[in-house]
Amino acid sequence: MATSVWLGEDVDVTLLAANGGSPIRTERWPLWPASAPGTLDALNEVLHSGRWAISGPYQGKQSFERRFAAAFAEFHEVPHCVPTSSGTASLMVALEACGVGSGHEVIIPGLTWVANASTVAGVNAVPVPVDVDPRTLCLDPAAVERAITPRTAAIVVVHLYSAVADLDALTAIAERHGIPLIEDCAQAHGARYRDRRVGTFGAFGTFSMQHSKVLTSGEGGAVITADAALSRRAEHLRADGRTYTPHVPAVGEMELAQTAELMGSNRCLSEFQAAILLTQLELLDEQNERRRANAALLDEGLGSIGLTPQVSSPGTTHRTYYEWAGRIEDDEIAELGVERIAQAVAAELAGAAVSPGYPPMNHNRLYQPSTRARFKGRSGLDLTGYSLPVAEDAGRRFATIHHSALLGNESDMKDIVRAFEKVFANHQELRD
């Protein structure tokens, strides 16, 4: 293994920390999530407001949900945002608002979190995983085109890890076939494509605010859209068939009107979550800029020792780093298994969040519809027969680093590079 010119020092060939050796780093990493200024005041306001959810009676002051929805819509320069209880809920709301249901197929990436498949099954449609681009790991437009059938009712594109998908090609395909494009931006809050925020190119942009995300309230989500009719459908779908009243209610009255236009479910965000998100949103652009700068250091340092960084589509103007991702090029090292490599690197870094990438959807252990009674007897839900060679290769070779580490400094990035360098140089220890 060649030494790293970027570090300016030789590899320290010593026993790996995973095998009882001294680690590269003993200092702990900052905790994530981290509270934003003003969060405690906002939570205290909710606590004493007499209203902890949008479904509670109006108390004479605009809810935090309405405030966050307005701020998140403004952030994306779109007119409509509907907060939801989770990223999964946002996907379900978007799919159903677009009319997806029984007898339909939905194209999804072959490399993504399991919810993209289980959510499609959850709205009684059939997920159709297609392969990804080997450099971006996002939907391959050519594979999407080949997968379209008369039953295709939607295309879900995921902006994965730190890459933005080829939105030029995907929006053109969706428009040509008259199929709604839904952007899953759970890992891309604030990213830009051709100077527009992602989430604004499709019929809907969907977001997760789960614990690990760059914008988080522990759990939570949102959908954004430029279409007033779709937004109204989304409001009904996430609030048991209710939508905002057209006027400011009197104190003690409900702010959600029972229109009976469309049956929904309860997928609302709490006021506590909305208050947290409103304060966190103010830091998002600044934090993303710091992550981008540190990711550039990792691109150089890790790229020099055999980890090829994931790239974004050519139209990308600003990336969001939910995770830095790199492909292990050395076959001998890759044969050890990326999970074992990631564990060894994490042991060198005081438990930093270094992980293998997602498994391909045709071999995802978390996608098991046969284990739930609601899916028994439904055809098309078994994904094991799909051929996803690029996704399968990525699942074997990509290692990821959580964005919280990218909020550190240059010294922290050097520690990460040194840890990978040490593990790669001493990988034979992991064969014992």
- The structural domains of the chain, with segments of one domain joined by +, span 17-34+284-431, 39-281
Residue 168 pLDDT exceeds 50: yes
Mind listing the pLDDT tens digit for each residue in 82-141? 999 999 999 999 999 999 999 999 999 999 999 999 999 999 999 999 999 999 999 999
What are the Cα distances from residue 107, in Å, to 84, 94, 116, 154, 199?
23, 14, 10, 7, 17
Residue 287 pLDDT exceeds 80: yes
Mind listing the pLDDT tens digit for each residue in 145-154? 999 999 999 9
Residues 291, 406 contacting (CB under 8 angstroms): yes
Q: What distance in Å separates the CA atoms of residue 36 and residue 141, rounded to the nearest whole number? A: 39
User: How many degrees, rounded to 5, is the angle at CA 368 between CA 362 and CA 144?
Assistant: 35
Mind listing the pLDDT tens digit for each residue in 74-90? 999 999 999 999 999 99
Banded pLDDT at 2 (limits 50, 70, 90): very low
Residue 432 pLDDT exceeds 80: no
Q: How many CB atoms lie within 10 A of CB 365?
A: 7
Q: What distance in Å separates the CA atoms of residue 336 and residue 349, rounded to the nearest whole number? A: 20
Q: Which segment of 25-29, 177-181, 208-212, 224-228 scores lowest on mean pLDDT?
A: 25-29
- What is the model's pLDDT at position 363? 96
Residues 97, 234 contacting (CB under 8 angstroms): yes
Q: What distance in Å separates the CA atoms of residue 90 and residue 189, rounded to the nearest whole number? A: 14
Residues 12, 426 contacting (CB under 8 angstroms): no
Q: What is the mean pLDDT of residues 265-293?
A: 98
Mind listing the pLDDT tens digit for each residue in 313-322? 999 999 999 9
427 contact partners, CB below 8 Å, separation of at least 6: 332, 333, 336, 341
Instruction: Give the DSSP letter of residue 222.
Output: E
Q: Is the dihedral of CA 328, 333, 337, 343 positive or negative?
A: negative
Banded pLDDT at 431 (limits 50, 70, 90): confident
Q: What is the mean pLDDT of residues 264-273?
A: 98
Residue 13 pLDDT exceeds 90: no
Fold exhibited by the domain 39-281: Aspartate Aminotransferase; domain 2 (3.40.640)
Residue 1 pLDDT exceeds 60: no
- What is the model's pLDDT at position 8? 41
Any idea of the CA torsion for 83, 89, 93, 99, to the nearest 10 degrees?
A: 170
- What is the model's pLDDT at position 30? 86
Angle between helix 338-348 and 389-397 (nearest 10) = 30
Q: Any idea which residue has 């428009």 for tokens? A: 175
Mind listing the pLDDT tens digit for each residue in 393-425? 999 999 999 999 999 999 999 999 999 999 999
Q: Which of 266, 264, 218, 273 is nearest to 241 (CA)?
A: 264
Q: Which residues of 274-304 are buried (b: 16+ CB within 10 A; e: fewer)?
A: bbbbbbbbeebeebbeebeebbebbbebbeb
Q: What is the mean pLDDT of residues 174-188?
A: 98
Q: How confident is the prediction for the chain on average, in pLDDT?
A: 95
Q: Which of 190, 177, 180, 189 is nearest to 157 (CA)?
A: 180
Residue 330 pLDDT exceeds 60: yes
Six token digits for residue 6: 């970027």
33 contact partners, CB below 8 Å, separation of at least 6: 211, 216, 218, 280
Q: What distance in Å separates the CA atoms of residue 234 and residue 182, rounded to the nearest whole number? A: 13
Residue 12 pLDDT exceeds 60: no
Q: What distance in Å separates the CA atoms of residue 154 and residue 424, rounded to the nearest whole number? A: 42
Instruction: Give the DSSP letter of residue 277.
Output: H
Mind listing the pLDDT tens digit for each residue in 28-54? 998 999 999 999 999 999 999 999 999
Q: What distance in Å separates the CA atoms of residue 342 and residue 353, rounded to the nearest whole number? A: 9
Banded pLDDT at 362 (limits 50, 70, 90): very high
The reply to whether 39-281 shares the fold of 17-34+284-431 is no
Residue 277 pLDDT exceeds 90: yes
Residues 320, 75 contacting (CB under 8 angstroms): no
Domain 17-34+284-431: CATH superfamily, name plus number: Aspartate Aminotransferase, domain 1 (3.90.1150.10)
- What is the model's pLDDT at position 127? 98
